[in-house]
Structures are given as structure tokens and as C-alpha cells.
Amino acid sequence: MKKIKKKRKPHVAIGGVPPRNAYDLYTFVAGAALEGGEPFRLDCNCGGVVTIMPPFQDEYVVCARCESTIKMIVIEGDPGYIIGADPDGTPKLLPVQGSKKPHPIELSHSERDTILARVRAQVEKKKVG
């Protein structure tokens, strides 16, 4: 993965600048969506929608509905989803916003099970090795 050095610039205050590294929410965003140049929607946990207009320079957005600061973690390309884990270590699929691919909840049960079974197998292999 290539590291792109970004110059930090001061944020414009939107109802108060959030403290450094303290965000209410974190979400994954497809890098392809930011590079595509077309506006895309980012769903907040509260059901609010933030419209992102590329080129997007900041690293977080603020939900107009609940005023949460949402940090965007950019994932290279458009993977559709990423593998996360519950606190107990159970793997799960996390949606990537701005993706043109189906949302993980739109995958069929068997598709999701296949992906998660593969992840579990990889995790097990790592434990043994």
C-alpha cells in the first residue's frame, strides 16, 4: 500500500473544532469514491446522511442531524466491505461507504457465510503458524 503524505491544514470550525484524534464515529470510505469526483452519500449511525463532494480534503465530516464528528478511514480502491471483528473476536463484515458494490447486508446469507468462513480459516491458520 502506497502512503500518500498529506499536508495537515487547520480545520474550519463547524460548531467547535473537535479535539485532536477524538471523533464520535469512525467509518470506512472507498478511496475510489473520493477519486471518482462524484458526490456520494455517507450514512451516519443516526440515520442522517452527509453528502461528500470530492475532492475532499478533510479527514472528518460532521453529521448535520446529530452533530457527530465522523472520521473517514479511506480504504484503497473499492473493496465493497472490509473484515472487522466484534469485541469477542467474531469476524464480521463492515460496510465501506461510497462503494459501488453491494452493501454487506445485501449479500445473501450463504455469500456472507462463505466470506466469514474463509476469514475464520485464515485466523485459525495464523494461530497455528
Using CB under 5 A as the criterion, which residues of the chain lie in contact with Zn ion when the complex forms? Answer: 44, 46, 48, 63, 65-66, 68
Q: Are 70 and 63 in contact (CB under 8 A)?
A: yes
Q: In sequence order, which residues have a C-beta less than 8 Å from that of residue 75 and are 6 or more positions away? A: 28, 29, 30, 31, 82, 96
- In angstroms, give the least distance from the CB of 44 to Zn ion: 3
Choice between 32 and 72, CB closer to Zn ion: 72
Q: In sequence order, which residues have a C-beta less than 8 Å from that of residue 124 and are 6 or more positions away? A: none
- In angstroms, give the least distance from the CB of 27 to Zn ion: 11
Choice between 44 and 96, CB closer to Zn ion: 44
Lookup: cell for 44:
451516519
- In angstroms, give the least distance from the CB of 48 to Zn ion: 4
Choice between 46 and 85, CB closer to Zn ion: 46
